[in-house]
């Protein structure tokens, strides 16, 4: 008796369903095997066992599928099974959103960063003198800015360039910030200086050149103040996130990320501002994500549109360099804004309505 097309299709539907159930039953067993292998610490992929299974299947294959097709189909099932085992045991990073869905909010002397609160960090590239710091601090205070930056340990490309005032610079920064009621951030380049940082500043900056200085990251993981980690000059986002994980796994959960431009072939900017890093880092991690418009562009004329783009992309803050007399600055003279230029930038940011404050 021959079947109608409808009847045959009905049968196929039934077989599809049985196959589906069997595949999932198989998947459950695969998962249990994955559990055992995880406990034993043996690799999930076992090529010898896989080949034995394929040989047995082809030996018992009654057709009409050819052996090669049977192998192909089962190979796909094996791949999907291995993926399932790996997915089950994928390590979730402490900094990942999967691990912690709610955004981390960092409190710096009463200024909240993250979770809808944005911060503007401004100040000179390097701490140079009391007078320089006081002029900037006063302008920041008038503008309602709460966090002042200033480098005391400067990792310079050339050993003959100004290396920063070191500990003296940190002391100066603290003294002036206290006078004006500001919080401070400064770069630390040596693991042994973390305790010094806790004494004099409110946020430790780890610079782009040190993003993968693992001993420094580990030391920052033991600090009890927040850390702002800069993206390396040629770091992928994966490397950036793993660098942040070094700090978090050491016990310091107060980590912030900052995109500061990456090196590309483009010459009109000092680096290339990777705006896509902002939504991606916010999606993948729960950490506040900031954008440094000065180091990413190396210019003064396009900071407002870049800052707006960063904020529109979801950035939790902006960093910009300001110097009372940029032409005489001991580092990054070309990119530092003078005070009126900074005030203009800040006005523009506030007027954009993108900065929640």
Q: Which residues bind to ligand PEP, rule: CB under 6 A?
A: 125, 151, 187, 207-209, 230, 260, 295
Work out the burial of residue 119: count CB atoms within 10 Å of its CB; fewer than 13 is exposed, 13-18 middle, 19 or more buried.
buried
**Minimum CB distance to ligand PEP smaller for 230 or for 282:** 230
**Minimum CB distance to ligand PEP smaller for 30 or for 227:** 227
Interface region with Mn ion, contact rule CB under 5 A, candidates 57-65, 124-132, 163-171, 250-258: 124-132
**Minimum CB distance to Mn ion smaller for 111 or for 296:** 296
**Minimum CB distance to ligand PEP smaller for 30 or for 206:** 206
The site for Mn ion, by CB under 5 A, has a size of 2
Radius of gyration from C-alpha coordinates of the chain? 28
User: According to CB under 5 A, which residues from 297 to 336 bind Mn ion?
Assistant: 332
- Tell me how far the alpha carbon of residue 27 is from its chain's centroid: 35
Calculate helix-pair angle for 167-180, 130-143, nearest 10 degrees. 40
Residue 232 CB, nearest approach to ligand PEP (Å): 9
What DSSP assignment string belongs to 31-55? HHHHHHHHHHT--S--HHHHHHHHH
Two tokens, residue 106: 């960092």
Which does residue 208 bind out of ligand PEP, Mn ion, none, counting CB within 5 to 8 angstroms by kind? ligand PEP
Taking the C-alpha atoms of residue 340 and residue 347, their distance in angstroms, rounded to an integer, is 10
Q: Which residue number places its CB atom closest to Mn ion?
A: 125
Angle, CA of 216, 177 and 292, to the nearest 5°: 55
Contact pattern for Mn ion over residues 67 through 106, marking x by CB under 5 A: ----------------------------------------
Nearest to 321 by CA among 306, 307, 340, 335: 335
Q: Which residue number places its CB atom closest to ligand PEP?
A: 207
Interface residues with Mn ion (CB under 5 A) are 125, 332
């Amino acid at each position: 008796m021959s079947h109608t097309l409808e009847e045959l299709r009905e049968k196929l539907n039934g077989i599809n369903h049985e196959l589906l159930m069997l595949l999932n039953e198989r998947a459950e067993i695969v998962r249990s095997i994955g559990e055992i292998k995880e406990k034993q610490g043996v690799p999930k992929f076992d090529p010898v066992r896989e080949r034995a299974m394929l040989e047995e299947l082809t030996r018992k294959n009654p057709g009409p599928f050819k052996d090669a097709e049977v192998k192909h189909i089962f190979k796909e099932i094996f791949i999907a099974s291995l993926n399932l085992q790996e997915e089950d045991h994928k390590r979730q990073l402490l900094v990942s959103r999967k691990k912690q869905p709610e955004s981390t909010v960092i409190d710096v002397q009463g200024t909240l960063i993250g979770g809808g609160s944005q911060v503007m960090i401004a100040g000179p590239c390097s701490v140079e003198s009391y007078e320089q710091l006081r002029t900037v601090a006063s302008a920041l205070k008038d503008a309602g800015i709460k966090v002042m930056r200033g480098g005391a340990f400067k990792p310079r490309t050339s050993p003959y360039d100004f290396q920063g005032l070191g500990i003296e610079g940190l002391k100066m920064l603290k003294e002036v910030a206290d006078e004006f009621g500001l919080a401070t951030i400064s770069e630390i380049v040596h693991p042994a200086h973390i305790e010094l940082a806790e004494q004099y500043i409110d946020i430790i900056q780890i610079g782009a050149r040190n993003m993968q200085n693992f001993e420094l990251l580990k030391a920052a993981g033991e600090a009890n103040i927040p850390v702002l980690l800069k993206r390396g000059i040629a770091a992928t986002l994966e490397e950036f996130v793993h660098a942040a994980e070094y700090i978090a796994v050491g016990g310091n959960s107060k980590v912030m990320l900052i995109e500061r431009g990456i090196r590309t072939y483009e010459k009109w900017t000092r680096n290339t501002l990777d705006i896509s890093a902002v939504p991606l880092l916010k999606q993948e991690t729960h950490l506040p994500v900031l954008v440094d418009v000065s180091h990413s562009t190396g210019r003064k004329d396009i900071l407002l549109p870049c800052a707006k783009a960063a904020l529109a992309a979801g950035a939790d803050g902006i960093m910009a360099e300001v110097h009372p007399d940029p032409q005489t600055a001991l580092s990054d003279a070309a990119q530092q804004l003078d005070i009126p230029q900074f005030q203009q930038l800040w006005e523009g940011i506030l007027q954009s309505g993108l900065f929640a404050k």
